[in-house]
Amino acid sequence: MKKKICILVLLVFSFINTNIVYADSKTVNYKEDLNLNCKAAILIEANTGRVLYEKNSDAKLPLASITKLMTYLVFKEYLEKLNISDSNAIFIKDNNIKVPESASKLGLKKNDTITVKELIDSLLIISANDSAEEIRIIVEKDGTDFIYNMNLKAKELGLTKTQFYNVTGLTEGKENNIYNTSSARDISELAKNIIKKYPEILNTTSKKSVVIKNKVLYNTNGALGKKTGVDGLKTGHTSLAGYCLVATEDLLSKNGNGYPFRLISVVLGSSSDYFRVKDSLDLLNFGEQNFFNNIIVKKDKKFDFENKYYKEKNIQGICKKDLYVLAKKNEIFKINAVMNENLNYNIKKGDIIGKVIITNSKDEVVKENQLYAIKDYKSVFLLKRWYFKIMDYFKINL
C-alpha cells in the first residue's frame, strides 16, 4: 500500500529551519515591472529552464547576429562528430566570401591559414560574418546543407518561432525582406542547451578581447565587466533587428551554498547599445535579488513510513543528496514522501523504497528524488504477510 507524508515548506529566503525558511530582512522588494526598453525579453535559470521574467517573449522578431549561436552549435556538433580539434588549421582556398563593407568581419583572405578556435573566437567575440561564412563552407564541403541543419536543430530543440535563412543574421534580398527570426523564449532555450552541452563557450565569451592574426579583437558584449559573474554570451544588431543581447551570469559563488545557479537573459529590439546592456543588467539584477537556490531536503533527513509487513513497523528512508529548488521569496512548496507499493520481501540497506516529490502552489512537480533504506528490514512471517494482504484487499473492495 502506498504511503505518503506531506510537509508544507514556506520558502522565503536563505535560512532553513526544519520545515520553514525565514526571510532575510535585507531582501530587495520583489518588482514585476522592469520598464525595459526592448521589444521582447526573457530571463531564465539555466539549470531548470524556469522563466523568471518575460516581456513579449513569444513575439517573432529579427535576430541579427544572435543567429551565430546556432551557427556555433551546428559547427561544434560537426567538429565533435568528425573528432576535429579546435587546434586544427583551416586553409582559405579562395576569397569568395561576400560580406557587406559595413558588416563586422575578421578580414579572411585567400591563402590565409586560421585555426578552428580562431574562427570560433572571432565568430563569438566580434561577430565576424566572414568567419560565419567560412564555417558554413567547411561543413558544406561534405555535402551538408548548413542552413538546413540549423533549422533542423531548431526543430529538435522545440524552437517553434525560429527560422534561419543564413549563418550571419544579416538582412538579405533586393528589398531587404529576407532575415532570420526567432523569439526571446526560443533563444533562451538555445542558449541554455549550448551552455549545457558546450560550457567551454564561456571561456571565449567571457573574454573582453582576443588577439588573432596580430589583431586585437574587442568583445562587443558591453555587459562584461559591468556586473560580477557575467561571462557571455552574444550580441546582435541590424537596422531591422535593433540592438540585441543574450547575457548570462554565473551566480554559483554568490549563492553561497555550492549549488548551480546560472541566469540567462535575452533582450531583442532595444533602441541602442546602451539600452540593450541596461535591459540585460536589469534582468540579471532582478533574478539575483529575487530568486535563490535553496535546500528543501537535506540528504541526512529521515522519512518514516508505517508498514506492517515488516518486523519493524517504521521504515526509514533518506535521500543520497541534498534537494534544492529555485524559488522566489514567499514561495510555498509541498514535500511529498511516497513509499513504493511493491517493496522487496526483505529490504536491504540502500534499497530504493520510495521517493520525495516537491511541488509548488500549482501542484506542479518541480523536483523529485529517490529514497533509500537506511538499514536492513526483515519481513514478518509469510502467513502473517498473507493475512495482512487479505485484510487489505477486503478493506479496499468492500
Residue 234 assigned ligand-binding role: yes
Task: Answer yes or no: are the C-beta atoms of 57 and 42 closer than 8 Å.
Answer: yes
Q: Which of 40, 49, 68 is nearest to 276 (CA)?
A: 40
User: 360 and 331 in contact (C-beta within 8 Å)?
Assistant: yes
Distance CA(86)–CA(277), nearest Å, equals 30
Spatial distance between the Cα atoms of 363 and 297, rounded to a whole number of angstroms: 18
Contact (CB, 8 A) for 240 and 179: yes
Angle at 182 between CA 82 and CA 187, to 5 degrees: 60
**Phi–psi pair at 352, nearest 5 degrees:** -75, 120
Residues in the chain: 398
Residues 6 or more apart whose Cβ sits within 8 Å of residue 372:
317, 318, 319, 320, 350, 351, 352, 353
Q: How far apart are CA 350 and CA 371, in angstroms?
A: 9
Which residues are known catalytic residues? 65, 68, 127
Q: Which grid coordinates belong to 222?
A: 558591453
**DSSP count for the chain of H helices, then E strands:** 9, 21
336 CB burial (10 A radius; 0-12, 13-18, 19+): middle
List, in order, residues 6 or more apart from 143 with CB less than 8 Å away: none
Phi/psi of residue 299, nearest 5 degrees: -65, -20
Residue-wise burial string across 57-92, b where 16 or more C-beta atoms lie within 10 A, e elsewhere:
bebebbbbbbbbbbbbbbbbebbeeeeeeeeeebeb
What one-character DSSP code corresponds to residue 274? H
Rounded CA-CA distance 360/328 in Å is 11
50 Cβ neighbours under 8 A, 6+ residues apart:
44, 326
Q: Which residues are annotated as a binding site?
A: 234
Q: Point out the annotated binding site for substrate.
A: 234
